[in-house]
Structure formats: C-alpha cells, structure tokens
C-alpha cells in the first residue's frame, strides 16, 4: 500500500497482527528527540518490520527512532558510528534494528562490515517498464549495504524478508529529493554554500550526468527510488517494499504503520534538511529531472509539473 494522507483509518488488516512491543512508557522524550515513545521491553514475534532505507527520504530520522527506542536516553553516539550499532545490539540481542544497524542484512558480495560490492557492471535501465529505455552505467564498486537497492542483489532482497519480516520504506518527490542532495553536498563541504537557481541548475545537470555514467555514485544517493520498491526496479513487477510511506506525510504515515503493527514507536517532528533554500530550477532542468526520474513520479503518484 502506498500511503496517502488520511489513510490511517483504512489500516484494519494489520490490527490482527501479533504485537511486537507489548510494554512501553508513554513518557515523551526530550526536545529534539526523533521518537516520541520509548519502549520498555521488546518481545520477539512471528511478525516484524524491516526498513529499506532510500537515501535522502528521511531514512536517518526513521533509523534514529528505532535506535532511541532500543538505547533509551543514553548516549547513542554520532550518526554513522558503527560502534553505536554494536552497543545497541548488546542491549537487545533480539530486536531487528533498522538501516545502518540492521545486522541481518546480507549481500551477495560483502565488502567489510558496512558495504556491498557490485557484482555486475551491467547497465541499469533508467525506465525498467520500457524495454527500449536508456541504460545507465554501473562503475562504482560498492554502496553501503543499507543504501544498495535490493532490486540489484537477490541475497540482499531476501535478507530484508528474513524471519518473515514485512518491509517498509519512505519515498519522496524526486525534485525535492535531488535538492536535498544538493544541500547535503554543501553541508559536508563538497560544494560551496549557495542558494540560487543558477547554482541549483549546475548541480542538477552535473548530478544527472554523473548518475547516467555511474548509477551507484555517491553511495547510491542518485538511484531512482523504484529500485528499492519493485523487483528489477519495474513498477509492473512484484513489490520488495510492501509498505510505502511518503516523506510529505511521514509523521502520520509512520505512526499509523507502527500502530497497525502493535509497535509503540512514534515520530516526533520529522528532521528536515539542515538549511532552507527556496531556489527553484529552470524549466530545462526541471524537465531533465522529470525525464530521469519519470518512473518514480508515475509509481508513487507524484504529479509532473507542466513545463
């Protein structure tokens, strides 16, 4: 199911699922916390949720919610700190963690503890639903295992469903996602600070050219979202991600999903990009984005903008 606003009351089929979290404290977390409720205990169940992290769609916020639930109010370390994951696993050896800390993710060709190597340099079809669509090269050797699209690795895809887990993910309007990547590149110092249509145009043209030459570039941050949701990235094929939430309504969608599965996790205010920039791309660049990510627009119901 792809969630739309006001969809929570329609989630009745999940209400019969066994509870994964049975005892929790309703004490709100401190200001800035990503998780409104802290679990007191977690019990294994025949049903569970695994999280497919699509880069630049709010995935870190979702991961942090689970981290806080397992780790309580103790120091969790910096985002991306692998030692934090080991510490959380020590606190709770049973609960399935999400994203970076999901130690049940297995890929066909692991590269150390954190990455999955690319087994194939076969081009990725830009529009899988069209047999004659353009092909994009695969040059990078790896992505973080929680960023690699499961459509590109059968073992990774299977591991998301290990233990009879159901899967969920978050998608985002493609232009907004690409703008978020632009601001992120500025935040980490790869690009000079800028907030103008001209600078955004340069970034979009550069980023999409890079994606065409290497679809796994930038730790898979440019990969079309359909490769995380559908087999072979084809919206006509079976779902890999069973529950598709939208960033635009994430708090509502996430809280409804957790409630339906008997999970006590609730998001606070979703963490937004580190800075605000109202710059919009030119019509030419907007068209490039819509062409490149057309499958995402169609699959997830985002409207094309008249150019």
Give per-10-residue mean pLDDT for the chain (307 aa).
43 32 31 42 57 96 88 52 76 88 90 75 76 77 91 95 95 98 94 95 97 92 97 95 97 94 81 77 97 97 88
158 domain-assigned = yes
1 domain-assigned = no
258 domain-assigned = yes
241 domain-assigned = yes
231 domain-assigned = yes
CA separation for the pair 238, 242 (Å, rounded): 9
Q: Closest Cα partner for 159 from 88, 100, 108?
A: 108
CA separation for the pair 18, 48 (Å, rounded): 9
230 domain-assigned = yes
CA separation for the pair 298, 280 (Å, rounded): 22
244 domain-assigned = yes
The reported pLDDT for the residue numbered 302 is 98
The two tokens of residue 201 are 């145009």
CA separation for the pair 116, 160 (Å, rounded): 14
Q: Is 118 exposed, middle or buried, given 0-12, 13-18 or 19+ CB atoms closer than 10 A?
A: buried
pLDDT tens sequence across 171-220: 999 999 999 999 999 999 999 999 999 999 999 999 999 999 998 999 99
Q: How far apart are the first and last CA of the chain?
A: 30
The reported pLDDT for the residue numbered 20 is 28
The reported pLDDT for the residue numbered 98 is 93
Containing structural domain, residue 91: 8-171+223-273
Interior angle at CA 225, CA 204 and CA 80, nearest 5: 85
CA separation for the pair 69, 72 (Å, rounded): 6
CA separation for the pair 37, 29 (Å, rounded): 7
The reported pLDDT for the residue numbered 121 is 59
How many structural domains is the chain composed of?
1
The reported pLDDT for the residue numbered 26 is 29
204 domain-assigned = no
């Amino acid at each position: 199911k792809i969630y739309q606003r006001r969809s929570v009351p329609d989630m009745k089929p999940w209400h019969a699922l066994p509870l994964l979290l049975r005892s929790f404290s309703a004490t709100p977390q401190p200001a800035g916390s990503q998780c409104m409720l802290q679990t007191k205990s977690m019990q294994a169940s025949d049903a569970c949720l695994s999280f497919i992290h699509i880069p630049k769609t709010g995935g870190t916020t979702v991961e942090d919610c689970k981290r806080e639930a397992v780790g309580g109010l103790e120091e969790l370390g910096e985002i991306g700190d692998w030692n934090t994951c080991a510490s959380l696993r020590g606190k709770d050896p049973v609960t399935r963690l999400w994203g970076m800390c999901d130690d049940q993710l297995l890929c066909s060709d692991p590269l150390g503890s954190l990455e999955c190597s690319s087994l194939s340099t076969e081009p990725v079809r830009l529009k899988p639903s069209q047999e004659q669509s353009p092909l994009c090269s695969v040059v990078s050797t790896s992505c973080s295992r929680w960023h690699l699209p499961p459509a590109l690795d059968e073992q990774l895809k299977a591991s998301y469903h290990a233990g009879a887990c159901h899967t969920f993910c978050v998608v985002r309007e493609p232009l907004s996602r690409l703008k978020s990547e632009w601001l992120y590149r500025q935040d980490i110092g790869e690009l000079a600070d800028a907030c103008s249509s001209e600078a955004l145009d340069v970034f979009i043209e550069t980023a999409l050219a890079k994606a065409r030459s290497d679809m796994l570039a930038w730790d898979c941050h440019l990969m079309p979202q359909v490769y995380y949701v559908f087999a072979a990235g084809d919206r006509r094929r079976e779902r890999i991600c069973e529950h598709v939430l939208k960033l635009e309504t994430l708090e509502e969608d996430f809280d409804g999903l957790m409630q339906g599965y008997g999970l006590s996790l609730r998001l606070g205010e979703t963490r937004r990009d580190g800075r605000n920039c109202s710059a919009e791309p030119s019509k030419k660049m907007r068209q490039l984005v819509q062409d490149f990510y057309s499958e995402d627009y169609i699959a997830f119901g985002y409207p094309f903008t008249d150019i």
